[in-house]
Amino acid sequence: MTGAKEDMSSTSISIGTAARALVRQCDNAVLSTMYAEGTGWPYGSLVMTASDYEGRPILLLSDLAEHTKNLERNSRVSLLFDGTDGLDDRLTGARVTVMGRVAVTTKPPDRFRYLARHPSAAAYESFADFNFYSIEVTKVHQVAGFGQIDWIPAAAYVFGSSQGIDFGMTEAEAIGRLNKEHINIGSRFGHVFDALTGKGWRFTGIDPEGCDLRVDGRVARIQFKRPVTDFASIRASLNELAENKNIS
Question: Is 80 strand, coil or helix?
Answer: strand
pLDDT for residue 242: 74
The DSSP letter of residue 85 is: T
Mind listing the domains of the chain with CATH numbers?
10-157 (2.30.110.10), 164-244 (3.20.180.10)
Instruction: Please determine, for residue 87, whether its predicted confidence score (pLDDT) is greater than 60.
Output: yes
Q: Spell out a b/e string for 12-47, using b for 16 or more CB atoms within 10 Å of the CB, else e.
A: bbebbbebbbbbbbbbebebbbbbbeeeeeebeeeb
Distance CA 14, CA 17 (A): 5
Classify the C-alpha dihedral 140-78-22-171 as positive or negative: negative
Banded pLDDT at 5 (limits 50, 70, 90)? very low
pTM, two decimal places: 0.86
The DSSP letter of residue 210 is: E
Give the H or E element holding residue 231. helix 231-244
Banded pLDDT at 168 (limits 50, 70, 90)? confident
Residue pLDDT, tens place only, 28-66: 999 999 997 776 799 999 999 999 999 999 999 999 999
Contact call for residues 144 and 96 (beta carbons, < 8 A):
no
pLDDT for residue 14: 86
